[in-house]
Amino acid sequence: MAVETRLTRIIISELTENQVIYLKEVNGDREFPILIGIFEATNIDRRVTEGFEAPRPLTHDLIVSVAESFDAKVDHILISHYENGTYFAKLILKRADGQVTEIDARPSDAIAVAVTFSPALPIFVEEDVLEASITN
């Protein structure tokens, strides 16, 4: 079963290669970090900062536009599994006819897509992934 989470913190440091984002469950206290690159962290941070508008579409805007051009919308994000220290995610798209498509994505890219929307799309994490992330 998947647990709804939300992005709670973004830690950006130019001194290290990996940046950190934190997801916290919506109806609980569990929180966990995901290490991401500086480019992804900066894009996510820009999107959650009030008033940011890119002069041209960013990659994450392009993903949303492509989905919409195929009569689909990004419905939510799913952090689907955790393996050997790496998280895996999916963009869940729904078409107007009800068909659901799952697109493999890096969690950082999926979260960047989620925060492209206002309000941000739901970010779900499989229970076993949440448990694994807390124990590791």
Tens-digit pLDDT profile for residues 80-124: 999 988 999 999 999 999 999 999 999 999 999 999 888 889 999
Q: Is the peptide bond before 119 cis (omega within 30 degrees of 0)?
A: yes
- Cα angle vertex 20, ends 127, 102, to 5°? 45
- The Cα 60–Cα 66 span in angstroms is 10
- The Cα 80–Cα 1 span in angstroms is 10
Q: Which of 75, 119, 87 is nearest to 21 (CA)?
A: 87
Is residue 58 within 8 Å of residue 84, measured between CB atoms? no
- In terms of DSSP bridges, do strands 2-11 and 19-25 run parallel, antiparallel, or are they unpaired? antiparallel
**List of residues 6+ apart from 101 with CB closer than 8 A:** 72, 92, 93, 94, 95
Residues 56-71: pLDDT tens digits? Answer: 888 888 888 899 888 9
Residues 13-61: pLDDT tens digits? Answer: 888 888 999 999 999 999 999 999 888 898 899 888 866 777 888 888 8
Is residue 123 within 8 Å of residue 5, measured between CB atoms? yes
CATH numbers and ranges of domains, the chain? 2-135 (3.10.690.10)
> Which pLDDT value is given to residue 95?
94
Is residue 40 within 8 Å of residue 60, measured between CB atoms? no
DSSP run (H or E) holding 7: strand 2-11
